[in-house]
Chains A and B, each alone.
Chain A
Amino acid sequence: MQSSNILEVESLSVRFGESRAKAVDGISFGLTKGETLGIAGESGSGKTASILSILGLHQRATVEGSAQFEGQELIGADNKLLNKIRGKRIGLVLQDPFAALDPVKTVGHQISEGLRASGWSKKRAMNHAIHLLEEVGVPSASQRVNAYPHQFSGGMRQRVVIAMALAQDPDILIADEPTTALDVRIQKQVLDLMKQQCESRGMSLVIITHDLGVISNYTDRIVIMYAGKIVEESSRLKLFDQPLHPYTQGLLDCLPTLGHSENEYLKTIGGQPPIPGKLPSGCRYHPRCAFTEPACTNGNNPPLVPVKWGRSACIQLEKFLKESQ
């Protein structure tokens, strides 16, 4: 499994600001070719920080650890090397399509920009941009290519952003909360589009989200993050059937289900996630956990323990596994 990973992240930490607190604290995960990986967790759990640092896009963060793309180290690499990976091997889609496009440049310019930087003629790059817009489902692409971002709706803008990320035919597409800013109806269209593009191109997909419902249908494997740490990694099917960490269980309980009684409140996880720099001792989740035992509150943060289909960072893992059998 190790050797086939196209992206291998190892003990990645990201520090911000004066306090130098870790927003991401030593996370490790791999991504195989053609696979779809979901990274889920609450806001501030370090999802975005980790993927932006892999591409060297965090301007003022200190990044430690390792992230290798096809064996090439990206952490600490210079811009020259990173620019061979950015766009060409790894494409990026961001959360807010209203902020993701430069308001003063035509969408065609922005889609074709990476291609022109790698030596394509303007005409050829523009034709490719039209082709890409057609592919992501923007109607009358040959005219719209000359339109400005403000002339598109949110959903259409996100399609443009996806076309921009696909322009240089990358091997991995990383989408950071790609649907959070969109209508529910549009969310599905955008996710379907990304999934379909990944399948037809044999591209790996990383979807970052705080909404487990969003990724349940689209990912092969899911990583759950809490307070800068990975607390669980599981296959999609197993995650919903048999969560390995109380935090995952908590997240799943928050999802509305069919047949949900209208007199019943949706469940929530009480409390707030901790602030980096003010982390509790022991398991970082213990102040909010329903199953906290004295052992959870002391010592170091529990390590990730492998199980047959994934990993979990709960010290009561064995007890839960037994109970569920």
Chain B
Amino acid sequence: MNKETAKNVVVYIGQRVSLTAIALVVLSFMTFTLGQLVPGDAAVVAAGPNAGNERIAELRVEMGLDLPIHKQYAIYLSKLSRGDLGKSWFTHQPIWEDIKARLPASAELVFLAMLLNVLISVPLGVLAATRFDSKTDGAIRLIVMAGAGIPIFWLGLILQHYVAGEAGWFPIAGRVSFEFRDFSGSTGFLLIDSAAQGEWRIFWDALNHLFLPAITLATLFIAVVTRTTRSTVLRTLQEDYVTLARSKGISEYQVVVRHALRNALIPTITIFGMQVGWMLSTTILVEEIFSRPGIGKYAVKAITQSDIHGVVGVVLVMGVIFLITNLIVDIVHLFLNPRHRESVQGK
């Protein structure tokens, strides 16, 4: 990368960051509107069933509900910028604290599911493409079809019942065994904290608890990426540069990995980026089934209790994570695609 390109890359990243910031404002507007649209008077709910009209009016002023809508939004934004997502109407806890305590459990789940996704879907897609129209290809297509068609909640219940319950290979539910329930560390990530403290039994225990939920969460996403990898690799294998790479007398493995797959990865990375966000929202199903104390389970609870601030908080946090992963993907693209690096010039 020469100096000129390096400068362009910095400018480009700056642009992406500011675009992400704009998207965040739009997101906040949407979550704010969501809070406004929900029927019911926040002050009535907050005051409780026995409060009198006076108390409700008092609370309305206290909560800023008597102000014009744009002022309410301004207050909302300034609170957001300080990390204040409001208080739960039910627990009266700051929502950010609730989410912060639950986010690591979900992040661990999404991370492991994503890891399985990358490690399984890409090799499977490449295998299907290089064995195009063979029995292997047919078998992979069948598995993919099944994987994409299985409802996540059903798969989770089946795995929980048979693999964890009947066979007893994995724990049925929860994040960690009862005996380790008091373990805590500085990051909140069980895997990181236990590894950092050398508590390998806890690490192993937490990993075991993660396994089935991660499989459940990953299956649909693996199916999708296997399919897209197969078709993009099939396409790149037809390219002249792959034929010419073969004509150099290098091994077929090198031809496929260095040229066909390397080029096919560019669109695949984009899909991976979006999947992080989708997976996060799918934790709502998986964490409920496996009783994992993450933000998905928290969202379910907030929804059933009509805790609008809780729901809005989860939506906002998931949205932020989605935007940030896509920002990272944009930057990764600069390293994967030299043409892209060049074309950011002069914009």
Residues of A in contact with B (beta carbons under 8 Å apart): 52, 55, 57, 59, 79, 82-88, 90-92, 94-96, 99-105, 110, 113-114, 117-118, 148, 150-151, 161, 164-165, 167-168
Tell me, rounded to whole Å, the shortest Cβ–Cβ distance linking A99 to chain B: 4
Contacts of B263 in A (CB 8 A): 102-104
Tell me, rounded to whole Å, the shortest Cβ–Cβ distance linking A17 to chain B: 12
With beta carbons under 8 angstroms apart, the residue of A102, A104, A168 that contacts B245 is A102
Tell me, rounded to whole Å, the shortest Cβ–Cβ distance linking A88 to chain B: 6
Contacts of A165 in B (CB 8 A): 247
Most chain A CB neighbours (cut-off 10 Å) among B243, B244, B248, B254: B248
Given contacts A104-B262, A150-B339, contact A57 B243 (CB under 8 A): yes
Distance of A95 Cα from B244 Cα, bound (Å): 11
Query: CB distance B240 to A91 under 8 Å?
Result: no
Distance of A65 Cα from B245 Cα, bound (Å): 25
- Ordered by A's residue number, 25 sampled pairs between the chains whose C-beta atoms are within 8 Å are A59-B237, A79-B251, A79-B252, A83-B251, A85-B249, A86-B249, A87-B249, A90-B247, A92-B247, A94-B240, A99-B241, A100-B244, A101-B241, A102-B263, A103-B338, A104-B336, A104-B337, A105-B262, A113-B245, A114-B250, A117-B251, A150-B338, A150-B342, A151-B342, A164-B248
Distance of A79 Cα from B248 Cα, bound (Å): 12
Closest partner residue, chain B, to A167 (CB atom):
B248
Query: CB distance B248 to A114 under 8 Å?
Result: yes
Closest partner residue, chain B, to A99 (CB atom):
B240
Distance of A84 Cα from B237 Cα, bound (Å): 21
| CB-based A-B contact count at 8 angstroms | 89
Q: Is the interface of B mostly helix, strand, loop or mixed?
A: helix
In the complex, which range does the number of interface residues on chain B fall in? 20 to 34
Query: CB distance B337 to A117 under 8 Å?
Result: no
Closest partner residue, chain A, to B1 (CB atom):
A146
Closest partner residue, chain A, to B130 (CB atom):
A59
Residues of B in contact with A (beta carbons under 8 Å apart): 237, 239-241, 243-252, 254, 258-259, 262-263, 266, 336-339, 342
Query: CB distance A105 to B258 under 8 Å?
Result: yes
Closest partner residue, chain A, to B266 (CB atom):
A104
Tell me, rounded to whole Å, the shortest Cβ–Cβ distance linking B273 to chain A: 18
Distance of A155 Cα from B246 Cα, bound (Å): 22
Distance of A215 Cα from B263 Cα, bound (Å): 35
Contacts of B258 in A (CB 8 A): 105, 113
Tell me, rounded to whole Å, the shortest Cβ–Cβ distance linking B222 to chain A: 25
Most chain A CB neighbours (cut-off 10 Å) among B241, B244, B254: B244
Given contacts A102-B241, A103-B338, contact A83 B250 (CB under 8 A): yes
Contacts of B259 in A (CB 8 A): 102, 105
Given contacts A104-B263, A117-B251, contact A161 B338 (CB under 8 A): no
Closest partner residue, chain A, to B260 (CB atom):
A102
Query: CB distance A94 to B338 under 8 Å?
Result: no
Q: A84-B249, A90-B247, A92-B244 are in contact. List 5 more A-B contacts (CB 8 A).
A: A52-B243, A87-B249, A92-B243, A117-B249, A150-B339
